[in-house]
Amino acid sequence: MKGGRSMRITSLLLAVMLCVLGIGSAGIVHGAPAPKCKVQGGTLRYGLVRDPTTFDPHINDGVTSSSIQGNVYDGLVEFGPDGEVAPALAESWMQPTPSTYVFRLRHNVTFHDGTPFTAADVLYTFQRIQDPKTAATRQLDLKTSVRAIKAVDPYTVEIDLTQPTATFLQMLAAREMYIVSKAWGDRGGDFKRAMNGTGSYRLASYEPHVRYVLERYAKAWNTPCIDRIEMTPINNDQARMDALKSGQVDFTEYVIWQETEYFFTHPGFRVYRGRDLFDFVRLNPNRPPLDRPQVRQALNFAINRQTINIVAFGGQGLPMEGFLTKPDSWAYNPDTSKVWKYDPKRATALLADAGLKPQDLHLTFEADPGPETFDPAQVILTELRQLGVNVDFKIIDIPTLVKKRANGDFLLLMDGKSLPWNDPDAYFDFFYSAGTNYAAAVKFKNTQLDQLLERGRTTTNPALRKPMYAGVERILYQQAPWIFAVWRPQAEAGRSFVKGYVRLPGALGTYTPGHFNRLWIEK
């Protein structure tokens, strides 16, 4: 039958075409944004740990980049509740080649000032991030990985990468990659002191040190259930906990470990916990006596991570026996990821290798007074002194800390950080020689390490990547650029009538407050 055969051929051709198009495609055809609200409406009173220092959507301001910017802006993609990359302003995407992405943008999306969202805004965003004057956190990352970006049509963007990049989509979902309005930017919008995004909430009003109010955006593409978020910065930890206990706020971030037990045991509250941040001591590998790797290794063996965990975090954290991969990561390798122990004898022996006795060392150790870093710092200080090392401890404030991080002006500097995404490529920002989060500032450079990190980033097959990162960890063990201390417990807590809060897994826990649009209030 002629018609039937031509139909079969057509279907076959169609099928083949679909298959061909399907190859290399990582596109996910999207479903509905958020499930229908069980309960609509209400006001959420939220306790912030501090004021934001900037509203800039392209600068990482720590936790507030999620709790504030995260709710007002959207990226091309975002992290879903399961930690996987999910559609946001990009409805779907394809990879015609391993180093090309084509994003189909969502239609009928407007910014809070009414301007429609189109591909031009995506181009403008990338331009702004790559401009050195913006001082964007991802400036270097974007510049090195993106070769070209163009708007194929008002709702299609094509991005050409310099090479295939394993973590490109995760980078796009990061909290410093929100899409901004070209029209607003051209008009002179002040990105640092005002916000104009496409998110579920708009910034209705704010008074520094007092309150930040987000209101649901009527025309949001991702409609939230809760109408209004009133955020109060409460720096004092105890005060913030008391505010939740007494009902002044319904939900708070940064629940201190001393109080998690309270919220676990008292009815009417829920606690959400993870271990997504870690504490460590930045070492300056170019300043004596730390210019010798044995000395840096010795410091790592001189401290007792169990003690730090118990004393500084009530045992709720996880000692960092290796590097930045935790046992739940696919890249975790027991041979290389579990190397540090408390071994003062070994520490002394390593120092002897370098021709030194502990008493010969004169170290300056700086820390800021925030409890999450100050408490571990005190333990580390005591243990180094117990070894016999002379340590001059200095308390510095945050602006000084920030400056020292950036210009490498320190010998030992206590610090705490989170990983940008659930991928061992996180090592890149810290240890790649041009990495802005550590290496560049102290001029740490290891060519072999650089090569491994580059290859790890540009290889897409996890089976091939895993041994590369094992190699990375071996080098980190030899070089010991930091004292790796402990993964800290991180928790949020709220009244039980606030529902839908599901903490993102792995390193992404602190992204969770960036999605108030997934919550609802059921009283």
Partner 1 sequence: MTSYLARRIGIAALLLWLVATVIFFSIYLLPGDPAFIILGGLEAHPTDEALQAVRSQLGLDRPLVVQYASWLSHLTRGDLGRSLITGRPVRRDLSIRFLRTADLMVPSISIAAILGVTGGLLAARARGTILDPLLSALPLLGFSVPVFVVAPILVYLFSISLHLLPSSGYADWSDGAAQFASHLVLPVAALVAAPTATTMRMTRSSALEQLSLDYVRTARGKGLSSARVMRRHVLRNAVLPVLTVLGLQIGGMFAGSVITESVFNWPGMNLFLLQAISQRDYPVIQSVVLLASVVFVAVNLLVDVSYAVLDPRIKYS
Partner 2 sequence: MLSSTRASSTVNVPARRLARFRRRHLRLAAPATVVALIAGLALFAPWVSPYSPESIDPTVRFAPPSHTHVLGADEFGRDILSELAFGARISLLVSAASASLAGVVGTALGTIAAFSGGPMELLIMRIADALLCFPPILLAIFVITFLGSSLLNVILVIALLYVPPFARLAHSSTLTVREAEYVTASRVAGSGGTRILRRDILPNIMAPLFVQLSLALGHIILLESGLSFLGLGPPPPVPSWGRMIGQSSRFMSLGVLPVVWPAVMVSTTILAFNLLGDAVRDALDPRLRGA
When binding is defined by CB under 8 A, the residue of 209, 219, 341, 362 that contacts partner 1 is 209
| SS3 call for 282 | strand
| SS3 call for 507 | helix
What is each CA distance from 311 to 94, 137, 282, 297, 377, in whole angstroms? 49, 34, 21, 23, 11
How far is Cα 236 from Cα 161, in angstroms, rounded to an integer? 45
| SS3 call for 482 | strand
Q: Please report whether residue 7 would count as binding partner 1 according to CB under 8 A.
A: no
How far is Cα 88 from Cα 100, in angstroms, rounded to an integer? 19
| SS3 call for 151 | strand
163 binds, among partner 2, partner 1, none (CB under 5 to 8 A by kind): none
Closest CB to partner 1 among 365 and 469?
A: 365
Residue 84, class by beta-carbon neighbours within 10 Å (0-12 exposed, 13-18 middle, 19+ buried)?
middle
Contacts to partner 2 by CB under 8 A = 237-238, 256, 258-259, 262, 306-307, 310-311, 369, 371, 375, 378-379, 381-383, 385-386, 393-397
How far is Cα 313 from Cα 303, in angstroms, rounded to an integer? 16
Category of 438 on φ-ψ map: left (φ > 0), alpha (ψ -120 to 50) or beta: alpha
306 binds, among partner 2, partner 1, none (CB under 5 to 8 A by kind): partner 2
Q: How many CA atoms lie within 13 A of 370 on its CB side?
A: 16
192 binds, among partner 2, partner 1, none (CB under 5 to 8 A by kind): partner 1
Q: Please report whether residue 67 would count as binding partner 1 according to CB under 8 A.
A: no
Closest CB to partner 2 among 71 and 252?
A: 252
Q: Please report whether residue 192 would count as binding partner 1 according to CB under 8 A.
A: yes
Distance of CA 436 to the CA centre of its chain: 14
Joined together, the tokens standing for residue 420 give 């940008």
Closest distance to partner 1 from the beta carbon of 248 (Å): 7
Could you tell me if 222 and 245 are in contact, meaning their C-beta atoms sit under 8 angstroms apart? no
Q: Please report whether residue 10 would count as binding partner 1 according to CB under 8 A.
A: no
Q: Please report whether residue 402 would count as binding partner 1 according to CB under 8 A.
A: yes
Site size with partner 1, rule: CB under 8 A:
43
Q: What is the largest CA-CA distance in the chain?
A: 95
Closest distance to partner 2 from the beta carbon of 306 (Å): 8
Residue 116 bridge partners (DSSP): 110
310 binds, among partner 1, partner 2, none (CB under 5 to 8 A by kind): partner 2
When binding is defined by CB under 8 A, the residue of 115, 144, 223, 436 that contacts partner 1 is 436
318 binds, among partner 1, partner 2, none (CB under 5 to 8 A by kind): none
Which of 366, 414, 368, 358 is CA-nearest to residue 390?
358
Q: Please report whether residue 133 would count as binding partner 1 according to CB under 8 A.
A: yes
Q: Please report whether residue 364 would count as binding partner 1 according to CB under 8 A.
A: no
When binding is defined by CB under 8 A, the residue of 16, 398, 434, 464 that contacts partner 1 is 398
Joined together, the tokens standing for residue 254 give 């940064």
| Residue carrying the six token digits 């039937």 | 4
403 binds, among partner 2, partner 1, none (CB under 5 to 8 A by kind): partner 1
154 binds, among partner 1, partner 2, none (CB under 5 to 8 A by kind): none
Closest distance to partner 1 from the beta carbon of 427 (Å): 17
Residues that bind partner 1 (CB under 8 A): 51-54, 56, 59-62, 65, 132-135, 137, 190, 192-193, 208-210, 232, 234-236, 238-239, 242-243, 246, 248, 397-400, 402-403, 405-406, 436-437, 440-441
